[in-house]
A and B are shown apart, each in its own frame.
Chain A
Amino acid sequence: MTADNTTTAVEATDDHAHGEDDDDATCEYCGDRFPTEQLRDLHRGLEHYDVLDDDDRAAYEAAYEAETESLQSFRLRALAALVLLYFGFLMLYAVVGL
């Protein structure tokens, strides 16, 4: 019981540090809170899809599309990092092997 209380206390301060009060979004079906509305919409689509109304489903699809776009740009950056890593090590081995 004491352990639980401490955890909640720690959580509360952590949440405050993140500025949760400013723009948090709560799922009305299970009460979970999310840092952005996009994440809330994604959560609703994944966990409560059957009970959603049309607007919420549309919000889920929009959030999914928006996320797919940011994933594309993330993939480009990840690919660039991989290429850099590969050629960086290629050069390193060439220099060390000389």
Chain B
Amino acid sequence: MSRRLARPLGAVLGLAAVCGVAVAHGGSLRGASGDSLAVPTWLFLSTGGAVVGASFLLASFVTDRAFVASVHGWTRSVPAPRRLLAWAGRLVGLAAFVVLVVAGFAGPTEPLRNAAIVLVWVGWWAGLVMATYLVGNTWPALDPFRTLTRPLARVTDGARDLDANAAAWTSTAFLLALVWVEVVSPLADAPPLLAGVTLAYLGVAAGGVVAVGHETWFGEVDPVARLFRSYGAVAPVERTESGLSLRVPAARLTERVVDTRGGVAFVVAVLWGTTYDGLVGTPAWAGFARTVVNAGVPAQLLYPAALVGGFLAFHRLYWWAARKARETAPTYTDVETLAVRFAPSLLAIAAGYHLAHYLVYFLSLSPSLFGAVLAPLDPPIARRLVLPGWLSGVGVAAVLLGHLLAIWVAHGTAFDELPGRLQAVRSQYALTAVMVFYTMSSLWIVSQPAGSPPFL
């Protein structure tokens, strides 16, 4: 028994040790260097790729089915006053919504002193999303759109059954549209516009509730609710019937978090959305955009075309990996089942990338958030927190950690889905290659100096 346990345990410890060293290395590269890296970029990127490749090889040493299943299946339930928490969440969400609208139209015009801007971008898009994948998904309770449209649900004739696949595709299209609006519009600088867009979104949600019912809209179509649900699947805390349950982080991704082709598309869109957001801020993109716009392509066309084109490329690449998995395993399990089972592992990557992108942003602007929350209409002068230099290395560490979790999740899923142990390992070849490519491209974006996208 002890020998049986010792081997997988040794492999996991080895994996942790190697990755720890590599992460510390990556971290020190960024931290020590300031503007330029101490090693050439190609070496920095290939080291990151190699860490992911090596972690796949190390994970392949863990082939004890019972051990893999016990890691992913471990749960501990924690009693919690669910109704009380839900009501508290609704109140907080509603209060934030009111502050957002009032401060948006009547608050100070300086963006970092305006409660609407700070609440949405620092509090919600950076802070709450981070809390969602690091702790648990509280958005269903907080969601003011859900709370405000609840009375409408009583008026309309109840839920309508939608095709789950079509609903997920609609959600994907909505999400891409939101990413586009976020990148191209001055939503982070113009408080009245932000408040207007929030009200417009409430209108969209009300329309959706009337059309398909409250439950179906927020459970299937609403892209924001789906986004938080997806990130929440990475978190260690989950809401259950009796309270809360604790799990190993990302372990829930080995279950059927995604169940349709549209769901796969949504996960890919989450991943591509965070990447696109970072990509358009890089100097390389600025150079590329200038060349293309000088050649006569309107900038208004360039940004949505790049968004949709990149999404399609990522989507195709993922399905290619799923098809390849079927050949290399080999297995007769259909491609759709494989694609649907492995897609959730990408969410760990998206979470890591989000953390890399927003941790420093959130911490440095947190004094503004406190100021805006305490005195929404007359906040104190905006201050930034001065952060230690090594914190920027956390970005590189987060990208790598997200990928390592994804490798481990995909490993566990393969063992759950396929009968052969070697078959399960072999099914991961193409997916690992895609992940190595993805690590290298996101590390490249993280290592670039961030600027604002041109022509906007």
Main secondary structure of the interface of B (DSSP, over half): helix
- B165 to A, closest residue via Cβ: A3
Given contact pairs A14-B326, A39-B423, A81 touches B332 in the complex (Cβ within 8 A): no
Q: A71 near B: Cβ within 8 Å?
A: yes
- B329 to A, closest residue via Cβ: A35
Interface size on B, residues (CB 8 A): 29
B389 to chain A, nearest CB (A): 22
- Indicate which residue in B50, B57, B330, B419 contacts A43 across the interface (CB closer than 8 Å): B419
A67 to B65, CA, bound (A): 13
B442 to chain A, nearest CB (A): 20
What size tier do the contact residues of chain A reach?
Answer: 35 or more
The answer to whether B422 and A71 have CB atoms under 8 Å apart is: yes
The answer to whether A71 and B53 have CB atoms under 8 Å apart is: no
A67 to B415, CA, bound (A): 14
The answer to whether B336 and A71 have CB atoms under 8 Å apart is: no
Given contact pairs A15-B332, A42-B420, A89 touches B50 in the complex (Cβ within 8 A): yes
A90 to B94, CA, bound (A): 56
0 or 1 for each of A13-27: is its CB under 8 Å from B? (1 = yes):
011001010001000
The answer to whether A96 and B43 have CB atoms under 8 Å apart is: yes
Given contact pairs A81-B57, A82-B57, A96-B40, A71 touches B332 in the complex (Cβ within 8 A): no
Given contact pairs A43-B419, A46-B419, A81-B57, A35 touches B63 in the complex (Cβ within 8 A): no
- List CB contacts (< 8 Å) of A3-57 with chain B: 3, 7, 10-11, 14-15, 18, 20, 24, 32-35, 38-40, 42-43, 46-47
Given contact pairs A39-B423, A43-B419, A70-B422, A14 touches B335 in the complex (Cβ within 8 A): yes
The answer to whether B422 and A74 have CB atoms under 8 Å apart is: yes
0 or 1 for each of A65-98: is its CB under 8 Å from B? (1 = yes):
0010011001100100110011001001100110
B49 to chain A, nearest CB (A): 10
Main secondary structure of the interface of A (DSSP, over half): helix
The answer to whether A71 and B331 have CB atoms under 8 Å apart is: no
The answer to whether A85 and B332 have CB atoms under 8 Å apart is: no
A31 to chain B, nearest CB (A): 11
0 or 1 for each of B142-177: is its CB under 8 Å from A? (1 = yes):
000000000000000000000001000000000000
Q: B334 near A: Cβ within 8 Å?
A: yes
Question: Within 8 Å CB of B421, what residues of A?
Answer: 67, 71
The answer to whether A78 and B61 have CB atoms under 8 Å apart is: yes
A32 to B419, CA, bound (A): 11
The answer to whether B63 and A71 have CB atoms under 8 Å apart is: yes
Question: Within 8 Å CB of A89, what residues of B?
Answer: 47, 50
- Indicate which residue in B261, B331, B334 contacts A11 across the interface (CB closer than 8 Å): B334
The answer to whether B420 and A78 have CB atoms under 8 Å apart is: no
- B60 to A, closest residue via Cβ: A78
- List CB contacts (< 8 Å) of B42-71 with chain A: 43, 47, 50, 53-54, 57-58, 60-61, 63, 65
The answer to whether B332 and A35 have CB atoms under 8 Å apart is: yes
Q: B39 near A: Cβ within 8 Å?
A: yes
13 contacts between A and B (CB under 8 A): A3-B261, A14-B334, A14-B335, A32-B332, A34-B331, A35-B332, A39-B420, A71-B421, A71-B422, A78-B57, A85-B50, A86-B54, A89-B50
Binding site for A on B (CB under 8 A): 39-40, 43, 47, 50, 53-54, 57-58, 60-61, 63, 65, 165, 261, 326-327, 330-332, 334-336, 419-423, 425
Which are the 4 A-B pairs with shortest beta-carbon distances?
A43-B419, A42-B419, A35-B330, A78-B57
